[in-house]
Chains A and B, each alone.
Chain A
């Protein structure tokens, strides 16, 4: 079930990275000083962020069940958030590119999670 938890971690990262882009400071770090995301982009990123976090929760539940899964999710969220924080500071472009990691993670979730197979 480790693969599912890994997918959960990837999705959590993806969600956090997407949400960080809705914040002026991190957006400006990447697109230059003073740049601000358009309202539409902000909305999209925010939705993607929440969706990825929700899917990350689903992955952890699929991996460890309703008892242990939420605990795993909390740990996974912390790790993902630390990764996002460090990448945003030291390699902001990579931090944004990392959002795409959510796509293979969704595929892994669909492939591995019990309800779908």
Chain B
């Protein structure tokens, strides 16, 4: 434990800090774009930006890709079933 010197705080926070800067830029972008009239594309753009933010949080802050196989599997299962929920619900609504 003591054989390895701990990393400096600067080294430690570099990745999360870049992630935070990217997230703040995305919040400003999505808020600004919401006031631009794009019709139905407003929703698409705001959800795509939200997806990018979620990806940054999950990969950098939650370090999912550095986790073991079972952790990645457990994390994917929820999204997998959620996809079924959406597909089945909307196969009904969209075909009425």
A binds B: no
Chain B positions within 8 Å of A, measured between CB atoms, are none
Chain A positions within 8 Å of B, measured between CB atoms, are none
